Amino acid sequence: MQTERHIRLFRNGRNQALRIPREFEIEGNEAIIRKEGNRLIVEPVNMKNSLVELLKTLTSIDEPFPEIDDPPIQDEDIF
């Protein structure tokens, strides 16, 4: 895989844009961009911090849930 490639910048409305060549594609549909000196750094958003990813890592609970006393709500006179 190439580590460097010459590209052209273009305008997209008021934004400056570039096309990312196939060999530099990033997984997902979100990224973070930051500037360090004259360099632009583009990194994929780490989706491992999402709630869904966290829930996938949890193991099942082998013990049954305790019984909870939860009687129905009593009607109240509000007049």
In tens, the pLDDT along 20-74 reads: 999 999 888 889 999 999 999 999 887 666 788 788 889 988 898 889 998 888 8
Reference 1, options 17, 18, 24; nearest CA is 24
According to the model, what pLDDT value does residue 1 have? Answer: 65
**Residue 62: inside a domain:** no
- Structural domains in the chain (count): 1
Reference 46, options 33, 30, 57; nearest CA is 30
**Residue 73: inside a domain:** no
**Residue 67: inside a domain:** no
d(CA 26, CA 43) in angstroms, rounded, equals 8
List 40's β-bridge partners, or say none.
35
Which of 1-5, 13-17, 44-48 is predicted least confidently?
44-48
**Residue 52: inside a domain:** yes
d(CA 39, CA 51) in angstroms, rounded, equals 32
Cα atoms in the Cβ-side hemisphere of radius 13 Å centred on 27 = 3
**Residue 31: inside a domain:** yes
**Residue 68: inside a domain:** no
pTM greater than 0.85 (yes/no): no
**Enclosing domain of residue 51:** 9-57
